[in-house]
Amino acid sequence: MLSSSLAGCVEPFSVKFETAKEYIVVDGVITDMEGPQYIRLSKTNPDASNESSEFSQTIWTTGASTLPLTKAKVSVIVNESATFMLTETDPGVYQLPVSLKGKVGNAYQLQFETETGQRYQSSSETMLPVASVKSAYDVFNPKGLPNYSAYYRDFTPSNDIYVNFDDPAGQQNFYRWQWTLWETQKNCATCSQGKYYLFQGENGIDGDCFKDLTLKYNNIYDYSCEDLCWDIFYSSDITIFSDIYTNGQSQKDKLVAQIPLLQANPCLVSLQQNSLTPGAYRFLKLIQDQAVNAGTLADTPPAPIQGNVLNTSNKDELIIGFFTASSVAEYKTMLWRKSINNLAVLNQLFKTIHNRDAVFEERSPERPYVPLAICKSSRSRTPFLPKDWKWSQ
C-alpha cells in the first residue's frame, strides 16, 4: 500500500495515536480552479489506530481508520449571505454546486447538520491571492521517497519538482503545494473469490464482480481494461511555506513536490501552488511540528489537533481537520521519464500499487470468453483523456 510524505523539506512522517472515542473529521477546501469540488465528512473508528497525518487539510482518508459521515445536510455560506447546498455523491463525500467557484476576496464558511441533529460550523475563511509560478522543472531522484512502496523496498525513485516564483512585497503570504498525477492503467478490475461480468445497466453496459463460491476464499482474478484508462493519484504531503523571513523576495529552485516513479511510461502532473489563510497555515504547521518532534521526553505527545470547526451547542467537542479557501496557481507538465534506465519498472503501475503481479482469469469450457473490464470514472480513475495530456514530446 502506498504511504505519504511531508515536507518543510519534504520528509516522510507518520504520527499515530489511539482513538478512545469517535471524532468527526472535516476535510475540505474551496478553490478557484475549474472542475468539481468536494467536502469530505467522516468519523474516526474508535476501534482503530489512526495517523494524525490522515486528519489534515485535503487529505482523503480511507480504510478502517475512518467511517463516512453520511446523510448530513451540508452547506457553504459565501460572504455571510448566499447559501449553497452540497450533494452527497458518495458516502461521506459532498459535492459543491458547479456554479460555486471560489473567488479571491470572498469569505466562505462551512455548516452541516448530522442525521442526529448536531450542528457544526467552521470559522469564516477569506480566499487570499497567490503568486503565479514563473517556471518549474523536474530532476530524477533515484532515492526520492523512503518507504513509499513495498515494490521498491527502501526507496521509491521520484521526479522532484522545483519552482521559481516572486513573493509579493508588503504582505505576509502563506503557501502550500499539492499535486495530482495521472498514470495510464491497463487493469481495471480485481475480483476476490469471484469473476467479472458485463451486464445491461440503467445507463448501458456495466460491469462488476460477482462472488463464485466454487473458488477458494483467497482466489483473486484481475481484468484488463477494455479501453484507455488513467489512475489518478493525489499528494498527501504537508508542503508549506511562510514568507515571514523572505517577504518580497524571489524564490528560486524551491523543492515543492516529489512525484513517485510508479512506472516508466509518461505521466501528467498538475502542480498546485495554493494560498493559505493564517489559520490554515497554523493548523498545518502544528500537524507538521507534531510529526517531526514526537519521540522525546520534551515533546508533546501525538494527539488529534482541533481545527476550525465547532459544534454550535458543545464547544468542547473535538472536531478534527480544517475547512478553508485557497486560490491556486496551477502548473501542468508531462513527465516523459526518458532518463529512466531501469526497464524493470516499465508498465509496472499495477505491481507498484499492489506489490504483486496481476493474475488473469484464463478461458475455460464453462467460460470461453473472459470480458474486459470497464474503466469506471471516479475520483481515483478516469476513462477520459486528461486535459493537457500529450502522446509525444
Tell me the C-alpha distance between 134 and 176, whole Å. 16
Residue 144: predicted pLDDT: 87
Joined together, the cell numbers standing for residue 257 give: 513536490
* 236 closest CA partner among 4, 3, 1, 7: 4
Closest CA to 11 of 282, 255, 243: 255
- 203, with CB counted inside 10 A (0-12, 13-18, 19+), is exposed
Which range has the top average pLDDT, 54-58, 153-157, 163-167? 163-167
Give the C-alpha distances (Å, rounded to integers) separating 206 from 70, 184, 199, 203, 373. Answer: 26, 21, 5, 8, 9
Question: pLDDT (tens digit, 9 = 90+) per residue, 81-140?
Answer: 999 999 999 899 999 998 899 999 999 999 999 999 999 999 999 999 999 999 999 998
Residue % of the chain over a pLDDT of 70: 84
What pLDDT, in 10s, does the model give residues 116-128?
999 999 999 999 9
> What is residue 362's predicted lDDT score, i.e. its pLDDT?
94
Three cell numbers written together for 53: 497525518
Q: Which residues contact 364 (CB under 8 A, 6 or more apart)?
A: none
Percentage of residues in the chain with pLDDT exceeding 90? 59
Grid coordinates given for 181: 498525477
Residue pair 93/62 in contact (Cβ under 8 Å)? The answer is no
Distance (Å, whole) CA 1 – CA 73 = 33
Q: Please tell me the distance from the alpha carbon of residue 62 to that of residue 66, in angstroms, as a whole number.
A: 7
Would you state the pLDDT for residue 315?
Answer: 87
